[in-house]
Amino acid sequence: MNKILFLFIILTSCKDESLKIDLKKAKDLIFSSQENIIVLDVRSKQEWAETGIIKKSVLKNPYDKDFFLFVEKLDRKKTYFVICHSGGRSSRVAYKMKQMNFNVFDVADGIVGWIKEDYPLVVYQDIKSLGKKVARSLKKELSYNLKQAFMRGGNLHAIKYCNINAMSITSSLAKKYNVKIKRVSDKARNSLNIAKGEELKYIKLFKARLKNNVTIGAMMNKEGTSMYIPIVTNNQCLKCHGDRKQDLTKDVLEKIKQLYPKDRALGYKVNELRGIFHISTLK
């Protein structure tokens, strides 16, 4: 939907007083750990950063072009508590969502009321740009380490240098940005790096896109809590992840087999999805 049409709808929508929910009641329900309650925060990035956000809330700016596309895809089995700064935007979004057959309430006093009551908020992290920054640093460091290791002692010596957990930069980035950093694969060498749950979903998606020659980049999950960044093979990787006969030397293959008896990370060609970085917020 284009922006002008959207603005028209938002500005001309009515309000529905019956959708309003009392702040204290809303807070109690939100923290009752009921799985089916979702807070939808319809402010802007700047506002999220300024005040912080309610823990686990779904964030979407109603002035984004894809706002209703986004809403349309939300799970209708859940109940939504829409909140904004002081109740203007939330009342219009709640009204529209009701028309779209959602179970929805308007937290009318907004974040202003929430802060006045001293209810808890958590720091908002822009996981999207953060994730990209972290992944870029790690890729750079990893590639540098591998090259250095090759120069010092060849393939065999380099084997242990493809490990982000062993790099001090990983823990320092995690600490600096208060995030959890993982590097996982659907065909892992180290069983500690086996992809699970949502990670597998994004691996499948990236693979399908690569196959269709669609450029792939970082993606954020629906809740805005996790960032997935594709890791694609280049020539450098094949020495340890390529064809066991053509690309790997005998000594490297033997060493890998010895260190990782359950290794599944062989047989890759150039420009294939080797794995993903998974950067998630710590709340």
Region class of 101: left (phi > 0), else alpha (psi between -120 and 50), else beta: left
**Shortest reach from residue 155's CB to ligand HEC, in Å:** 6
Interacting residues toward ligand HEC by CB under 6 A: 143, 146, 155, 158-159, 162-163, 165, 183, 185, 188-190, 193, 231, 233-234, 236-237, 239-241, 265, 274-275
**Shortest reach from residue 186's CB to ligand HEC, in Å:** 9
Beta carbon nearer to ligand HEC, 90 or 185: 185
**Shortest reach from residue 202's CB to ligand HEC, in Å:** 13
Interatomic CA distance for residues 63 and 5, integer angstroms: 11
Bridge partners, residue 231, by sequence: 275
Beta carbon nearer to ligand HEC, 89 or 241: 241
**Shortest reach from residue 68's CB to ligand HEC, in Å:** 37
Beta carbon nearer to ligand HEC, 70 or 260: 260
Q: Which amino acid is at 273?
A: L
Q: Side by side, which strands form the sheet with 179-184?
A: 179-184, 273-281, 226-232, 219-220
**Shortest reach from residue 241's CB to ligand HEC, in Å:** 5
Beta carbon nearer to ligand HEC, 41 or 247: 247
Interatomic CA distance for residues 82 and 97, integer angstroms: 10
Beta carbon nearer to ligand HEC, 158 or 218: 158
Cα–Cα nearest to 97, from 121, 120, 73, 128: 73
Cα–Cα nearest to 281, from 225, 224, 227: 225
